[in-house]
Amino acid sequence: MNVQVVKAEYGSGGLQKDVTDVLKPLATKLPVLVLPKPTYNESFGGDPAPDAQKKLRVQYTIDGKPAEATFNENRLIVLTLPKP
């Protein structure tokens, strides 16, 4: 399985932070991204939207097929297989 992160944003509403460069090197042969620190804020270098519920949106490919997933703050990042 070839997993690649294309683009990733973390935040709430208009307060988004591009975190593509953090997630790209974490992509492996498995559809799970393991962050370097325990929380999204720590891993992504700060809180882009204090006091707001944030989401992580990841655009990715698995074996060349595009997909997108959204995760609530601090959830395990397990990428689903793209639909055929």
Cα 51 from Cα 53, distance rounded (Å): 7
- pTM to 2 decimal places: 0.94
- The reported pLDDT for the residue numbered 27 is 96
Domain spans in the chain, listed from the N-terminal domain onward: 3-78
Instruction: Quick: pLDDT tens for 52-77.
Output: 999 999 999 999 999 999 999 999 99
pLDDT over 90 (residue 84): no
Share above pLDDT 70 across residues of the chain, in percent, rounded to a whole number: 100
